[in-house]
Structures are given as structure tokens and as C-alpha cells.
Amino acid sequence: VKQEAGAAPAEGAAMERVRPDDVLIAAATDYFGLDIPLAPLYAMWGEADTTWAQLATRFPGLRVLRQDPVECLFCFICSSNNNIARIALIIDRLGERYGRLLGTHGGDTFYTFPSIEVLAGADEDDLRALGTGYRAKFILQSATTVLQNGGTEWLKQLRAAQTSHVEARDALITLHGVGPKVADCVCLFALDKTGAIPVDTHVWQITLREMDASLGEAKSLTPTIYGQVGRLWRDRYGEHAGWAHTILFAADLTKFKKLRTEALGDADTKAASSPSKKRKSPSKKAIKVEDETEPAQDEEGAGAAVFSRTNGGAKKSKSPAVKKEDTAGSTELTPLSKKSKKLPAGAAELYEALYGTDNTGKDTATSPLFKPTPTRFNPKSAGKPRKLSMVNAGGESGAGV
């Protein structure tokens, strides 16, 4: 029985299977990267890492989406200091307000993501009203800069094979509200840089646990160390290391803990309880940001996150950057006092979600909040388990996977 559009299927009626047209198949193939077979990659990654091979049994067929560069870039800009539910809400509102209507299905209405031209011409107050908050300024500034650089064609050039990962990442970091982590996320999820490794708390912990525990002795996540983390992953998993990293990343998330335990069994329990794996409990004292001079950057780690965190005494500020939850579970930051460089406990985790930016959204090296010298964050603290919620681009939802 061939079903009429919009009609409810008759009880017990057999539905005719209709093959999608070639355009839809081509679009799906491109979006899911189906032209690259996973089986050979899974086999290669499994031979290189037995732990990865075990985890892959519970995460079969996990692929990195090949997202539209414009949508991917601005979605990650909106992700800073945000939670997944609110990010999704903001993106939906942007599409409804500035996108083009596609149609309705199942009672839901769908819109395209706004074009760069439309975003660049948007009103900042209007963007803020949609829930973007301080990110509204970054959306406008980045959209304007992208247009000045050549618009969508500029992003396509960054996607081109002749543009290296480092070149693409460094170009993206010139945009407002984009740090090295966001840039690497865009490189991996939209610009075909399959070897990009976005270094966040999860990836840092995995690197220390599975690859090189000696990195935990580093005093800060300098550009050199950031680059070394990426090289460790690429040396082990090859040119598609960014794809391989999604398995370990997903397995490290709390929501997939059961799958991880099923895959590793006693080995995972022993590793967690091993003295060599244990880390000191995070201090409950306030986190203090210290100014330090940043060493020279190497090419691989150019533009990497630079923060330093040490435990210090808490001091009250008239306008501290604090995390507050509203009734919808959203997260916002209030401005940090320009007279104080001391941050309340947990603020560093929120700043990490900016992937190399402070609460103004600018790289710390140029932010007036932290002048005259850039600051770094202590990777030893980043490697410790924390009860505090930290939302990152892609976050706990595995966005982009």
C-alpha cells in the first residue's frame, strides 16, 4: 500500500519502501563521511591500542559528522560557558529568527541556519534577547571578519586539502570568541582536518592516563605541551586520530560509564584504584590566576590555551565571575571585577569551556583583564576529577559525533 503524504497508516497495512533520490543519498554520504570506510580504521586503531580495541566493542560505527563550516563555527562560539540544553535552544532560536523556513514534520518546524551575511547584519540586542548573552558581540564580530576574509569561500579554502590543520586553526583563532579548542573542534568537525585533537579536560585526562603520565609534571599547558598532546594522538592513531579520539572521549563521559565498564571490566576498576592512577582531591579553596610570561610558541602549538591556576585564599569581589543556574538549568557568567585578578572556586573550569579565552571571550594574551602578561592554567588541576560541571564545545552530549 502506498501511503499518501500526511495520512495515518492503516492498521496492518504494508508500507511501500521508497528509495531516496540520488541527491539525498549524496548529501547523507557527505554528512556522515560514508565515503571513508570505518572497518580498516577500526582495525588499525585496535592494533595500535588494546584499550581502544576493547572500548570499540561498545561504540561500534561511531563517526565524526562533516558539518557545514558556517553552522559549526557559530554553534561552537555559542557553546562557550554554556550547557547542552541551552546551546540547542539558542541554535533553534537563531534559525527561527534569522534562518529560512524548511517545513514541518511530526509537529516540529525546521529552519536553515542563518547565513554569514544575515548574522553580520543582525542587531546585538536582538541576538542577546535570543539567549546568546555576551556571545552576541562575538557572533557579530566573527561574522563580519569572515565576510571581510571572503565569506563562505574563505571557510571552504580552510577546508581544502592544501590547507594544513595548523594553518586552518591559526586562521580561525583570529576570530572573536574563538580559542584553540574551539578552532580545533571546527577543524575536526567541519574542515576535514581529521588529525585535529581538541584538548579539553577529558582529552587531557585521557592523555595522562593512556599515553604519557609525565605530562602531568608540566607546570602549565603551554602551546608546546598543547602541541605535544596532539602529536601523541597522531603518532598512535595516524591521520584520522581525531576520529579515533571520539571513542576514548565518549567512553570517558559519565553518561557512558556503564558501556566503559562493560568493555574494560576488571581492568578499568583496577586502573581506577591503582595508586599510580590516583590524584589528589581538588582543593576547596578559591582559584587564583597568576601572571606569568609565556614561552615562545612552536608551530604545532601556536595559539594554544594559556592559563595558570594555583590554590589561594578566597576574596570577595563586587562582581565575581560566578556560575549561576536558572530554573531552566542554564548557565551564565556575571562580569569579573577588573580590579581583581582572583577568581572564585570553579571559575577556571568555566573559562576552560572557552577553549583559551577569559570571560570576555578574548584570548588571555590580549584581554585587558589579564594584562600586561598572559596567564596559564595548571594542567595538574585540569587532570583531577572534579564534581563541578564543565560544559565544553561538543560537551557531554557528544555533539559533532
Query: Is residue 283 within 8 Å of residue 257, measured between CB atoms?
Result: no
CA-based nearest residue to 167, from 204, 144, 196: 196
- 3-state secondary structure (DSSP) of residue 289: strand
C-alpha dihedral sign at 186, 187, 191, 195: negative
Locate 49 and state its grid cell. Answer: 591500542
CA-based nearest residue to 180, from 245, 109, 230: 230
Q: Is 67 exposed, middle or buried (0-12, 13-18, 19+ CB in 10 A)?
A: buried
Residue 284 CB: number of other CB atoms within 10 A? 8
- For the CA atoms of 44, 48, 52, 53, the dihedral, rounded to the nearest 10 degrees, stands at 60
Residues contacting 144, CB < 8 A, separation 6+:
120
Q: Is 125 exposed, middle or buried (0-12, 13-18, 19+ CB in 10 A)?
A: exposed
Distance CA 269, CA 278 (A): 12
Query: Is residue 225 within 8 Å of residue 298, measured between CB atoms?
Result: no
Distance CA 319, CA 336 (A): 5
Distance CA 369, CA 337 (A): 9
Backbone angles phi, psi at 213, to 5 degrees: -65, -20
Q: How far is CA 394 from the centre of its chain?
A: 4
CA-based nearest residue to 340, from 354, 322, 328: 322
Q: Is 181 a catalytic residue?
A: yes
C-alpha dihedral sign at 362, 166, 390, 220: negative
Q: How far is CA 36 from the centre of its chain?
A: 23
| Catalytic annotation, pick one of 2, 137, 156, 181 | 181
Backbone angles phi, psi at 290, to 5 degrees: -110, 140
Backbone angles phi, psi at 325, to 5 degrees: -100, 130
What positions carry a catalytic annotation? 181
